[in-house]
Amino acid sequence: MPLPAGSKAPDFTLKTKTAEGLRDVRLSDNFGKQNTVLLFFPAAFTGVCTQEFCDMTAGLGQYSALNADVIGISVDNAFSQEAWAKQNKIGITLVSDLNKTATDAYGVRFQGLAGIGDTAARAAFVIDKAGIVRYAEQTPTPKDLPNFSAVKAALERLK
């Protein structure tokens, strides 16, 4: 079960890889400044995840207009995420939850994906500037995309 709306969002510090090197991304750095959309996804270099993040990149301006930072989280390592982002022109910050600490804190571990091991389930969370979860969704299967209309509606309510 995903962490429910109304809960305090568990803070995390995870690694991202950019051309400048590895750097930390801390969720609480957004607190008091902007809302955050967390998108947990099972694995880089897979069809549905690539579609989701290419579509999100194309619509990133809509989230910026709603004062939201979008962060993608998977259990892939940061180097794989960077290669995937470059290959597919993904412009969203991707962070590595290799040890599954954030995945478990948000209650979205997917056990035994296609026989390759545990990953993050596909899930979306909207977290307000105060660090409270305002929207939470885990999709029924890894092949299903989150309800992005509901994500945007939750962000609209925070304006």
Q: Any idea which residues carry the catalytic annotation?
A: 49
What are the DSSP calls for 130-152, one per residue?
TSBEEEEEE-SSTTSPP-HHHHH
Quick check: 68 and 151 in contact, CB under 8 A?
A: no
Structure tokens at 96: 């590595």
Distance, CA of 115 to chain centre: 23
Does an H or E element contain 94, and which? strand 93-96
Structure tokens at 29: 């750095």
